[in-house]
A and B are shown apart, each in its own frame.
Chain A
Amino acid sequence: MAKAKGKAAAQKHRDGGLATEQLHEMYYHMAMARALDERCWVMNRGGQAPFVISGQGHEAAQVGAAMAFDPSQDFLCPYYRDLGVVLAFGVTAREVMCGLLARANDPSSGGRQMPSHWGHAGRRIITGSSPVATQILHAAGVALAARIRGEDTVAAAFFGEGSSNQGDFHEGLNFASVHRLPVVFVCENNGYAISVPLSKQMAISSVAARAAGYGIPGVEVDGLDPLAVYQATQAAVARARRGEGPTLLDVKVVRLTSHSSDDDQRSYRTAEDLAAERAQDPIPRFRAWMESQGIWDAQQEKSLAARIKGEVEDATEFALASPVPDAATLLDHVYAP
């Protein structure tokens, strides 16, 4: 019975483009992102990591979106919450931990940037900064170059809904749509820009509506469902590859942590609001769904948890044992050698 159900589910996912193994991979990345992030907070509280910024609650959106891109030819411009995105694109737990602890072998910046300022030349993840929305223009430019160079590359920019108020967002969407560039704009809409709720950020309830001003599709997506995100992103990527131009995805997510380790969201959100969001945690939700489809069980959960725990442990130890940047390198890389 369970087997028959599993078969049917697997069939269904193949229809959506994903086999059971890929669903398991999706879940692994989501769970890994969560476990690593939780470890980051432990290290923050333990005084080993001065700063943490989380993607908790965004994992389904991040992993679902990232898996729709091709790591061998596409380029990603993520933002600080995108742990799930970079893991799904091949960044390792060890690399993440080296970034958290600002080690010399942190692939993003050799310990120069704050944690979670992702970048990985080998993984086609373009270095990002703190000023929000700047990467939206970079993604458009990457797509422009791909088109001129005759490559099949699609570029992606990830950002929060608050950042969609910046000029760079509007200028980037306009530029990309005028030139019909192969870009996917992924807005991870958690309803808050630090303490400022969506209603005070914009007079509309849907960031997707902004796409109309640029003549491109704007799609609202349930960001708590990784399959919905995967499918919406896949459609946007396909459209981009066909040369039909950019798409704006408005992916609704929940922010389960404070903005960062320097923030305390209890000072501006009610306990009820926080509890309601906690109940929408996408990870147990996806697990329950897989179980209901007969493609996941308690035994698998147990062994996955053990594997992840081991990997997080290994990553932490590896990073702690890695060298800190030598002060003598302070002046390196201001210009090309």
Chain B
Amino acid sequence: MAMTYLEAVRETLRQEMRRDARIIIYGEDVGVRGGVFRATEGLQEEFGEDRVMDSPLAESAIIGTAIGAAINGLRPVPEIQFADFIFPAVNQIVQEAARIRYRSNGTFGVPMVIRAPYGGGIHGALYHSQCIEAFFAHVPGLKVVMPATPYDVKGLLASSIEDEDPVLFLEHKGAYRSIRGEVPDERYLIPLGEAEVKREGTDLSIISWGMTVNSSLKAAENLAKEGVSVEVLDLRTIRPLDTEAILTTARKTGKVLVVHEDNLTGGFGGEVSALIAEHALFDLDAPIRRLAGPDVPAMPYAPSLEHAFLVTPEKIEAAARELAEF
């Protein structure tokens, strides 16, 4: 069935909750309101207030209690209303959830999925636009999943819920309503840590994740008209990372453009680039190129500034064209 990215989130939550009574959802406005983006709309009606509840406005409490609930046999899927508001919970995520397995010598685990809408381009300004993946991809013990399409949302969310360890599941706000795609009715799993070639190509490779995969595909399509053949690799999960897929595409085309919306310095693109430099340098025909958000604290509100910040299909196209000509 064709559906939006947002519907894929909601329908997967519904399907998983029907299948597994251990799953509970809570967060700010997720109950009666169905979430500020409607990702949980109708779920409280179907599953009741015990399984879908509004929580007090306190992110540290949301995540900290979800850790306890996960340890005691549930599968919490807490929502952070905007990824930008995850920071009060960083202590609980980084110091607790991510290292409980390690610090208990494998005797405790935290099977929890934190859903959070991220990303900009929606007039969200400094605090409703951020990409937060780099902060969390740095943390061993945590998994970071960033789907680009409705199909991947379903398979990756189901896998995340089934996973025995804490997963940060980042959904791009811009994708919620603008990205549509076919999603099978039946349940399926996409393993965490498996990238996917979303478009085959021979001249250069774009490596990306989350929403910028869609922008990269647009750019690739335009470039194809000019005779430039672009391969687009969607990492889908950045931790665990599909190193093999990265090296394979780098070796295949010999030119790599890494694209992310998050700001450049210390962004996850640095990790991807380093891997290629370490393992496939002599297969390259051009220096690795990174296209990312500028190094300013966050995305401004004024449309002129927001547009200047964003990594658009046009900017990707220009960077890819330049790299192809190298």
Contact A113 B301 (CB under 8 A): yes
- Interface residue A290 (Cβ < 8 Å from any Cβ of B): no
- Interface residue B126 (Cβ < 8 Å from any Cβ of A): yes
Contact A111 B302 (CB under 8 A): yes
With beta carbons under 8 angstroms apart, the residue of B57, B302, B307 that contacts A112 is B302
Among the stretches B83-91, B111-119, B147-155, B182-190, the one at the interface with A is B83-91
With beta carbons under 8 angstroms apart, the residue of A114, A129, A166, A263 that contacts B57 is A166
Contact B36 A329 (CB under 8 A): no
By CB atoms of chain A within 10 A, which of B297, B302, B303 has the most? Answer: B302
Chain B residue numbers with a CB within 8 Å of A51 are 123
- Interface residue B305 (Cβ < 8 Å from any Cβ of A): yes
Among the stretches B27-35, B134-142, B238-246, the one at the interface with A is B27-35
Contact B296 A330 (CB under 8 A): yes
Contact A201 B57 (CB under 8 A): yes
With beta carbons under 8 angstroms apart, the residue of A111, A130, A329, A334 that contacts B127 is A130
| A108 CB → nearest B CB, Å | 10
Contact A334 B297 (CB under 8 A): yes
Q: Which of B92-137 contact A (CB under 8 A)?
A: 123-128
- Interface residue B309 (Cβ < 8 Å from any Cβ of A): yes
CA distance A131 to B80 in the complex (A): 12
Contact B57 A132 (CB under 8 A): yes
Size class of the contact patch on chain A: 35 or more
With beta carbons under 8 angstroms apart, the residue of A167, A201, A267, A325 that contacts B33 is A267
| B50 CB → nearest A CB, Å | 14
CA distance A129 to B297 in the complex (A): 13
CA distance A115 to B128 in the complex (A): 13
Contact B58 A325 (CB under 8 A): no
By CB atoms of chain B within 10 A, which of A51, A112, A166, A193 has the most? Answer: A112
Chain B residue numbers with a CB within 8 Å of A263 are 36
| B270 CB → nearest A CB, Å | 19
With beta carbons under 8 angstroms apart, the residue of A115, A130, A167 that contacts B84 is A130
- Interface residue B300 (Cβ < 8 Å from any Cβ of A): yes
| B124 CB → nearest A CB, Å | 8
CA distance A117 to B88 in the complex (A): 20
For A51, the closest partner residue in chain B by CB is: B123
Chain A residue numbers with a CB within 8 Å of B123 are 50-51, 114
Q: Which 4 pairs of residues, A with B, have the shortest CB-CB distance?
A: A130-B127, A111-B302, A195-B33, A102-B302
- Given A193-B28, A193-B56, A195-B32, output 6 extra A-B contacts at Cβ < 8 Å: A50-B123, A114-B127, A195-B29, A195-B33, A330-B305, A331-B294
